[in-house]
């Protein structure tokens, strides 16, 4: 009896289905790839581990590069009908001054701003659009546990959910399951670190009309707080030195609230809304890159292939650009039910260089801007390199549009 048959018996497989492409992970990259393939008649199954999209996402930024992709799909106008905010600048406020780190209003695009849209609404919008195609199948609550491998080729996945074990057989399996990718682990992919890790505390506080809109950072010696406009709330990111979380937790919530108000005094009249540590999410952030994004029958995209630092909020947008390139390259092979290793290599070739560039930019910001401020040895000053007129708009271009434009070709 073969290992595969014994595994099936041990798991008591409820059903076995086949598809052209099985995408694991219903985040922005996976959802967009599923939509693009479904539009071209490819049979695609999207597996999402959670039972719904209504979760506390921290990535709610849709950059101009993605809005242009939405326009190419004929979806931008409808997307912007959803409640959203617009971030036209990223400003840094210090005790001495207010500086503009990135001004998107000068960019040559129809969308010279970052769209702040709850990710749950974006995912619902994209998957509802995909559901008009009969060859698209969305399975919620699908907890992928195993890869199906035969003769060195990945043939699909097995997952738990909906009454037992299920099996999806696919020409191609795509891991779009984020920074804690199960498929990256199951596929034994190796990674290299691309920037030093840092720790972030995430929480929300009410936003008041006089606060202004958009996004801003508050820098004081030893403290960095980012504030993102979510309509009636600020999504707050409190950057702390690596390994300091337990020490901060031991000092108590009141000490944390006091330090927040010291950096952002106008929050004094609402800091009382932060009442328990359960309202504070701790995120250990690191940036890395998978050396090879593919194996026969399996491809990784988005954070599964390259975990992004939160600097610039570009993770969602690079995942979506990965998805567009993957669809451009792989639609025809999937329509022919045969994907070569060279097809998968082409996706990585087209996306690895821009990924390395943006990760290098993030590392530069972390080392040259964040680290000195957190070390409390000086207040924030823009790096001298970015004061050069020819480079002044570089942060805005990199954050908003990426390194190379990506267009839908299918």
Of residues 220, 235, 248, the one with CA closest to residue 376: 220
Regarding whether 298 and 266 lie in a shared domain, the answer is: no
Regarding whether 205 and 164 lie in a shared domain, the answer is: no
In this prediction, residue 135 carries a pLDDT of 97
Containing H/E element for 262?
Answer: helix 253-263
In this prediction, residue 337 carries a pLDDT of 96
In this prediction, residue 102 carries a pLDDT of 83
Select from 267, 285, 303 the last residue of a domain: 285
Could you tell me if residue 384 is inside a domain?
Answer: yes
Number of domains in the chain: 2
Select from 238, 255, 285 the last residue of a domain: 285
Per residue in 145-204, pLDDT (tens digit) is 999 999 999 999 999 998 899 999 999 999 999 989 999 999 999 998 877 777 889 999
In this prediction, residue 3 carries a pLDDT of 45
In this prediction, residue 21 carries a pLDDT of 98
Could you tell me if residue 201 is inside a domain?
Answer: yes
Cβ atoms < 10 Å from Cβ of 302: 32
Could you tell me if residue 406 is inside a domain?
Answer: no
For CA atoms 17, 181, 316, 320, give the dihedral sign: negative
Could you tell me if residue 69 is inside a domain?
Answer: yes
Select from 285, 314, 347 the last residue of a domain: 285
DSSP-assigned letters across all residues of 108-167:
SSS--SEEE--HHHHHHHHHHHHTTSTTEEEEET-EEEEEEEETTEEEEEEEE-SSSEEE
In this prediction, residue 210 carries a pLDDT of 80
CATH code where residue 61 lies: 3.50.50.60
In this prediction, residue 394 carries a pLDDT of 79
Residue range of the domain that includes 207: 196-285
Query: What residue ranges of the chain have pLDDT lower than 50?
Result: 1-3, 5-6, 9
């Amino acid at each position: 009896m073969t290992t595969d048959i014994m595994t099936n018996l041990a798991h008591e497989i409820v059903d076995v289905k086949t598809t052209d492409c099985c995408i694991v992970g219903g985040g922005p990259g996976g959802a967009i790839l599923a939509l693009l393939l479904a539009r071209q008649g490819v049979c695609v199954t999207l597996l999402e581990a959670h039972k719904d999209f209504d979760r506390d996402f921290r990535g709610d930024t849709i950059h101009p590069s993605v809005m242009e992709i939405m326009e190419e799909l004929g979806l931008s106008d409808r997307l912007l009908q959803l409640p959203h905010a617009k971030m036209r600048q990223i400003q840094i406020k210090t005790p001495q001054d207010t500086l503009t780190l990135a001004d998107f209003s000068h960019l040559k695009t129809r969308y010279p701003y970052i769209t702040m849209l709850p990710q749950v609404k974006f995912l619902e919008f994209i998957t509802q659009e995909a559901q008009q195609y009969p060859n698209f199948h969305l399975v919620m609550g699908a907890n992928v546990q195993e890869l199906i491998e035969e003769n060195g080729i990945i043939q699909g996945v097995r997952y738990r959910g909906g009454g037992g074990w299920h099996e999806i057989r696919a020409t191609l399996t795509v891991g779009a399951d984020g920074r804690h990718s199960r498929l990256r682990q199951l596929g034994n992919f190796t990674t290299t670190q691309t920037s030093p890790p840092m720790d972030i505390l995430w929480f929300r506080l009410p936003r008041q009309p006089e606060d202004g809109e958009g996004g801003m950072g508050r820098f004081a010696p030893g403290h960095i707080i980012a504030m993102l406009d979510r309509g009636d709330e600020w999504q707050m990111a409190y950057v702390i030195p690596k390994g300091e979380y337990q020490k901060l937790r031991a000092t108590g919530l009141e000490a944390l609230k006091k330090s927040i108000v010291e950096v952002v005094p106008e929050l004094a009249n609402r800091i009382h809304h932060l009442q328990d540590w359960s309202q504070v999410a701790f995120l250990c952030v690191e940036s890395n890159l998978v050396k090879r994004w593919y194996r026969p029958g399996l491809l990784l995209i988005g954070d599964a292939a390259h975990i992004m630092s939160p600097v610039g909020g570009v993770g969602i947008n690079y995942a979506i650009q990965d998805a567009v390139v993957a669809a451009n390259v792989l639609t025809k092979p999937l329509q022919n039910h045969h994907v070569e290793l060279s097809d998968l290599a082409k996706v990585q070739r087209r996306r690895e260089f821009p990924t390395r560039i943006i990760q290098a930019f993030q590392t530069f910001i972390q080392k040259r801007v964040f680290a000195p401020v957190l070390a409390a040895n000086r207040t924030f000053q823009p790096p001298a390199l970015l004061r050069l007129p020819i480079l002044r708009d570089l942060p805005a271009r990199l954050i908003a549009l990426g390194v190379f434009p990506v267009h839908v070709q299918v």
